[in-house]
C-alpha cells in the first residue's frame, strides 16, 4: 500500500499528514516559529516512521501564499524528496486548503493578511475555483465581495494554517484518483508578490 505525504510550512507552523487512504492516517502540527527551517528535516524524518520513503506514492505541499521563507523551505523540501524518489508532487494552494477544510454548502471566500493594506484572496466552491488566488488591496477585496453574485462564507485566516495540511493531502489524493501525476519540476511557490 502506497502512502501520500503532505507538508505545510506557509506559516510559522509545520503541518505533516500521512495516509494510505485505507484506514492508516495520521497528522501533526508543530508551532515552530522561526525554528521551522532548522527543525523541519528532523521532524519529517521522525514523523515518517514506521513507514519509509519508499512507501510513498506521492507528495503534496502547500505552495502558498504565506510566509515567503517558510513557503520556500517547504516547497524546496518537497521538490527534493519527490525528485529523489521519482514520485509525483502536488503543489496545493494554502487558500484552497483552508476552503477545503470548511466544506460548506456555500462558496468559500478566503483571505490571509499580506503586507500593509493587502490580503491574499480566493473564492472556491468545492473543487471549483471561482476566483483564483491573488493579492489585492483591502479595498479591492471588499469591493469584490460586495459585488459577488452568489452566496458565500468568508474565512479570515491568520494563524493555525498548519492544521489544514489534512486538506492539502485530501485535495492531492482527489487529483491522484483522477489520474493526475504532476512532475516535481512544476511545483512552484505562490508568493503573490515579489519577495524583495
Helix, strand and coil in the chain, % to nearest 5: 40, 35, 30
Tens digits of residue pLDDT in 5-24: 999 999 889 999 999 999 99
Two domains, one topology: 3-94+160-186 and 96-156: yes
How far apart (Å, rounded) are the C-alpha atoms in residues 84 and 152? 42
Cell 516512521 found at? 49
Domain limits of the chain? 3-94+160-186, 96-156
Strands 107-113, 152-156: pairing is parallel
In CATH, the architecture of 96-156 is 2-Layer Sandwich (3.30)
Strands 25-31, 56-64: pairing is unpaired
Tens digits of residue pLDDT in 126-183: 888 999 999 999 999 999 999 999 999 999 998 778 999 999 999 999 999 999 999 9
User: pTM to 2 decimals?
Assistant: 0.92
| Domain 3-94+160-186 sits in CATH 3.40.50.970 | no
Tens digits of residue pLDDT in 27-77: 999 999 889 889 999 999 999 999 999 999 999 999 999 888 899 999 999
Amino acid at each position: 500500500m502506497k502512502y501520500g505525504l503532505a507538508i505545510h510550512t506557509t506559516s510559522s507552523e509545520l503541518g505533516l499528514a500521512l495516509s494510505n487512504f485505507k484506514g492508516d492516517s495520521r497528522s501533526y502540527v508543530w508551532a515552530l516559529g522561526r525554528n521551522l527551517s532548522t527543525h523541519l528535516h528532523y521532524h519529517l524524518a521522525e514523523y515518517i516512521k514506521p513507514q519509509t520513503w519508499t512507501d510513498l506514492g506521492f507528495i503534496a505541499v502547500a505552495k502558498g501564499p504565506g510566509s515567503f521563507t517558510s513557503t520556500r523551505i517547504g516547497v524546496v523540501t518537497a521538490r527534493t524528496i519527490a525528485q529523489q524518489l521519482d514520485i509525483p508532487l502536488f503543489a496545493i494552494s494554502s487558500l484552497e486548503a483552508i476552503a477545503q477544510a470548511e466544506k460548506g454548502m456555500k462558496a468559500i471566500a478566503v483571505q490571509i493578511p499580506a503586507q500593509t493594506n493587502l490580503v491574499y484572496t480566493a473564492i472556491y466552491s468545492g473543487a471549483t475555483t471561482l476566483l483564483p488566488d491573488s493579492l489585492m488591496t483591502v479595498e479591492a477585496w471588499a469591493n469584490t465581495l460586495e459585488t459577488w453574485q452568489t452566496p458565500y462564507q468568508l474565512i479570515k485566516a491568520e494563524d493555525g494554517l498548519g492544521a489544514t495540511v489534512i486538506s492539502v493531502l485530501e485535495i492531492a489524493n482527489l487529483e491522484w484518483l483522477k489520474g493526475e501525476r504532476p512532475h516535481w519540476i512544476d511545483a512552484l511557490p505562490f508568493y503573490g508578490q515579489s519577495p524583495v
